[in-house]
Amino acid sequence: MQEWWSSLIGVQQLLWGLAIPFTILFVLQMGAALFGLSDHGDSDGAGDMSDSSVSILDYFTFRSAVVFFLGFSWGGLACIDSGISVFWGVLIGLIMVVLNLLLLRGLASFNESGNLNLENAVGTNAVVSIRIPEKLSGCGKVSISFQRRLEELEAMTDGKEIPKGQMVKVVRIFNNQLIVSILNEL
């Protein structure tokens, strides 16, 4: 190991000295994000960019620094091995930061609260997936699509028992519970 290290020129030693810790930091950040432990305050500009008060300084975050040095160090090492100027590594680092920001902005556009508002289901058709007992005597389940999601939710009925596979309509919400009726009984 020491032979390998001493065979490197000063710039290569610097780049390896950056590549290893920043790769570890990047892997830790990815792991934290995967398990929901990442710092939500470090948005990297992925949020609402319509606000004119966003400045260039908003892009200088710890995450952006890690991505830059990751790209710079590994890109610089690849440039040296290819006989290209190490300064191309700076460009590679900057490109990686831009790609990271674009990716985060794209992912942020998918972010929704995820909370279901059952009131939005009223008037929606559904299919019974587990039979619904008669006259509010128990719960069954329905497959229902609302708020751009397909959900399986508990449901009750005021009328007669509703078998599996029957088309129903949500008529109201009572005590945070879907109340449904068979479509042809409405």
pLDDT in tens, 74-126: 999 999 889 898 889 899 999 998 998 888 777 666 655 567 888 999 999 99
Considering the domain architecture, whether residues 14 and 35 belong to the same structural domain is answered as: yes
Considering the domain architecture, whether residues 16 and 91 belong to the same structural domain is answered as: yes
Per-residue pLDDT tens for 66-82?
A: 999 999 999 999 998 89
Considering the domain architecture, whether residues 57 and 139 belong to the same structural domain is answered as: no
The percent of residues above 70 in pLDDT, for the chain, comes to 82
Considering the domain architecture, whether residues 6 and 65 belong to the same structural domain is answered as: yes
In this prediction, residue 52 carries a pLDDT of 45
Q: Which of 82, 109, 136 is the last residue of a domain?
A: 109
Both tokens of 39, joined, read 């710092």
Residue 50 region, left (φ>0) first, then alpha (ψ -120 to 50), else beta?
A: alpha
- Residue 47: is its pLDDT beyond 50? no
Considering the domain architecture, whether residues 84 and 128 belong to the same structural domain is answered as: no
Confidence of residue 185 (pLDDT cuts 50, 70, 90): low
Considering the domain architecture, whether residues 22 and 69 belong to the same structural domain is answered as: yes
In this prediction, residue 7 carries a pLDDT of 81
- Other C-beta atoms lying within 10 Å of the C-beta of residue 152: 13
Cite the DSSP H helix spans in 45-84. 62-82
Considering the domain architecture, whether residues 26 and 65 belong to the same structural domain is answered as: yes
Lowest mean pLDDT among 26-30, 33-37, 50-54: 50-54
The structural domain count of the chain equals 2
Domain that holds residue 163: 118-185
Nearest alpha-carbon partner for 71 in 134, 131, 133, 25: 25
Considering the domain architecture, whether residues 7 and 95 belong to the same structural domain is answered as: yes
Considering the domain architecture, whether residues 10 and 83 belong to the same structural domain is answered as: yes
Q: Which of 89, 109, 129 is the last residue of a domain?
A: 109
Confidence of residue 36 (pLDDT cuts 50, 70, 90): low
Considering the domain architecture, whether residues 60 and 104 belong to the same structural domain is answered as: yes
In this prediction, residue 34 carries a pLDDT of 75
Q: Which of 109, 144, 171 is the last residue of a domain?
A: 109
Considering the domain architecture, whether residues 12 and 88 belong to the same structural domain is answered as: yes
In this prediction, residue 50 carries a pLDDT of 41
Considering the domain architecture, whether residues 84 and 56 belong to the same structural domain is answered as: yes
Confidence of residue 181 (pLDDT cuts 50, 70, 90): very high
What's the mean pLDDT in 159-185?
91
Query: Residue 93 and residue 66: Cα distance in Å, rounded?
Result: 10
